[in-house]
Chains A and B, each alone.
Chain A
Amino acid sequence: MEGILFPHGVPEGRESLSAYRSRGGYEALGKALQASPKELIKIVSDAGLRGRGGAGFPTGKKWQFTREAPEQPRYLIVNGGEDEPGSKKDRVLLENLPHLVLEGAILGAYAIGATKIYLYINAQYDAATQSINDAIAEAKNAGYLGKNILGRGFDLDIEVTAAPHNYVAGEDTAVIEVIEGKKAWPRQKPPFPVTVGLFGKPTLVNNVETLANVAPIALRGADWYGKFGTTESSGTMIFSLNDDVNRPGVYELPFGTPLRYLIEECGGGMKNGKKIKAIMPAAPSSAFLPADKIDTPLDPNSMRDAGSALGCGVVRLIPKGTCIVEEVLKISEFFTAESCGQCPACRMETSTLTMMLKKVQAGQGGQPILEQFGKILAFNKGKGFCSLIGMPGPPIESALKLFPADFAAHLTTGNCPEN
C-alpha cells in the first residue's frame, strides 16, 4: 500500500517547491482557505489524527482547544526538537519534504487563528534547517506565507528557532521557554499551552510528523485517510530502526502492521543473524516485550495490550547475549543525565534508580534491593513538572519481570550471565 507521507518511498533528496506542487502541493491550502477554519478542524478530527510526538493526543481536539482560547494572538509551534536517541523521522521530513511540513503548519495556523509560526528545529540539524529556510523563502515568494495569503486576507509570520541538544528541550513547555529565550525547563501544568503558552498566549505545539499529515488529510479527506491503519488508529506512522538491524532507516507503515514486518521485511532482520532477546517498541522509555511478541500489531492499543507502548516509533531490538541489567542501567543513566533537575522528586528517583542498578550490576544488595525499584517508582508516579519522571519505570519494571535470571545472576555472582 502506498504511504501518506512517503507516497513513493523515502525520498532521496530534497523536494523542491515545483516538485511538491506537481503532486498537488499547496492545493490543500487553497481549498482550506475557501472554507472556514472550523471545517478544517472537523476534517482533522474526523480523520482521527493523533499526535506523533509521543503522547498520541487527538490533534483535532488540541486545535479546537487552542482556537477556543479567548486570548489573542495565538501561536503555532512546530516541534522538531527530536532528541530521542535513535529518532530521525522529523529530520528526514524537514530535510527532504520541507513543503509538506510547511503546508501542514500553515493549515494548522489557519485552523487555530494563529498569527505566527515558530519552527523549532534541533540545533544539530544543519541540512534540515537550511532546507526549511529555503522552503520558507520559496513559500513567501509564492504567496503561501506573509501578508494576505492567496488573496484570502490571512496574514502569517514565521520564524525558525534552534532547539538545544538535550532531551527535555523537546517537551512542549520547555520548547516554549526556549523560544522565550530561557533555559529548557518544563513548566508546571496546568495551565496547558493551549490556553497559556508562548508569551502567555494560547499556543499549539505539534510534532513535525503530526503536521506533515495535515495537508494530505485536508486535500483528500478523512475517509481517504481512514483507509490506512486500523479502525481505532487511522493513518500511518514513521518508525526508526537503528544499527541493530541490517537496514537501518525510517519506514512509514500503516498502523496495525505486524512488528515482524518492520523488523524482517523493512529492517532485513537482526544484524549478524542474531536472535532477538527483547524488543523495545518505543525506545528508550517503553516496556520491553519478549521476543515471542514479534507479531504484535504496530498500533497504540495493541502495544498497550501487549504490555508496552508505541511512543514515537524508535524500535530497538536487544539481541540474545545482551545483559538486560546493563541495558536498563544505560537507560536509567540516560534519564538521570537528562532530568532537568528542577523537580526534587525526579532528581531523587532517577539518581536513586541508577545507583541501585549499579549496585545490582556489581552484585551488591541481595534480593531485597529488587523490591525497592517498584516502591521508588510508585512513590514518584505523577510527580514532577513533565513526564520524564515516568519514563524509567516501564523499562526497569518490564526487565525485572521478563528477565529475573539476569538480575539474580548479577546479585549472586556480581557477573553477567550473558558474558
Chain B
Amino acid sequence: MTELQKRIDDKGLTDVEVKSYMCFGACQEGPNIVLYPEKNWYAKVKVEDLDEITEHLAGGPHVQRLDTIDSSLKELIYQLLDTGVM
C-alpha cells in the first residue's frame, strides 16, 4: 500500500485515495486492488505491477493481465460499493 501511495504521489495524482478495505471474498486471488468508482479490479497484484496500475489511474491503458476475477463476484461487490454498503 505504501508503495502504491508513493507512486501515486510521484505521479502527482491528487484525486486518488488509497485505503484498505474489508473482505471482498477473493483473498485466494489476492492481493486485490479495486479501482472505484471506475470499477476495475486487479487481482494477484505484485509490486512490479504497481507502475502499470498507476499509469492506468493517470489515464493509461487497462491492465488486462490482472483482470482475472469472476465477473459475477465483481458485479456483486460493485453493487455493494454502489449502495454504500461497503
List the interface of chain A (C-beta within 8 A of B): 344-345, 347-349, 351-352, 355-356, 359, 364-365, 368-369, 371-372, 375-376, 379-380
Contact partners of A368 in chain B: CB under 8 A = 83
- B79 touching A375 by the CB < 8 A rule? yes
Whole-angstrom CA separation of A376 from B25 in the bound complex: 11
- A352 touching B80 by the CB < 8 A rule? yes
The 7 A-B residue pairs with the shortest CB-CB distance, nearest first, are A348-B25, A344-B27, A368-B83, A348-B23, A344-B25, A379-B76, A345-B25
- A379 touching B86 by the CB < 8 A rule? no
Q: List 21 A-B contacts (CB under 8 A).
A: A344-B23, A344-B26, A344-B27, A347-B25, A348-B25, A351-B23, A352-B22, A352-B80, A352-B85, A352-B86, A356-B85, A359-B85, A365-B83, A365-B84, A365-B85, A368-B83, A369-B85, A375-B76, A376-B80, A379-B72, A379-B73
Contact partners of B24 in chain A: CB under 8 A = 348
Interface of A is mostly: helix
Interface size, chain B (Cβ < 8 Å): 16
List the interface of chain B (C-beta within 8 A of A): 22-28, 72-73, 76, 79-80, 83-86
User: Known contacts A375-B76, A379-B73; is A349 also within 8 Å of B25 by CB?
Assistant: yes
- B83 touching A347 by the CB < 8 A rule? no
The distance from the CB of B68 to the nearest CB of chain A, in whole angstroms, is 14
- A372 touching B79 by the CB < 8 A rule? yes
Contact partners of B76 in chain A: CB under 8 A = 375-376, 379
Whole-angstrom CA separation of A344 from B27 in the bound complex: 6
Whole-angstrom CA separation of A127 from B10 in the bound complex: 66
Contact partners of A371 in chain B: CB under 8 A = 83
Contact partners of B84 in chain A: CB under 8 A = 364-365, 369
Contact partners of B86 in chain A: CB under 8 A = 352, 355
The distance from the CB of B34 to the nearest CB of chain A, in whole angstroms, is 13
- A372 touching B83 by the CB < 8 A rule? yes
- A347 touching B85 by the CB < 8 A rule? no
- A351 touching B85 by the CB < 8 A rule? no
Whole-angstrom CA separation of A123 from B16 in the bound complex: 52
- Count chain A CB atoms within 10 A of each CB in B24, B25, B72, B76 and give the residue with the most: B25
The distance from the CB of B56 to the nearest CB of chain A, in whole angstroms, is 25
- B23 touching A347 by the CB < 8 A rule? yes
Besides the known contacts A352-B85, A369-B85, 11 further A-B residue pairs in the complex with CB atoms under 8 A apart = A344-B27, A347-B23, A348-B23, A348-B24, A352-B23, A352-B80, A359-B85, A369-B83, A372-B85, A376-B76, A379-B76
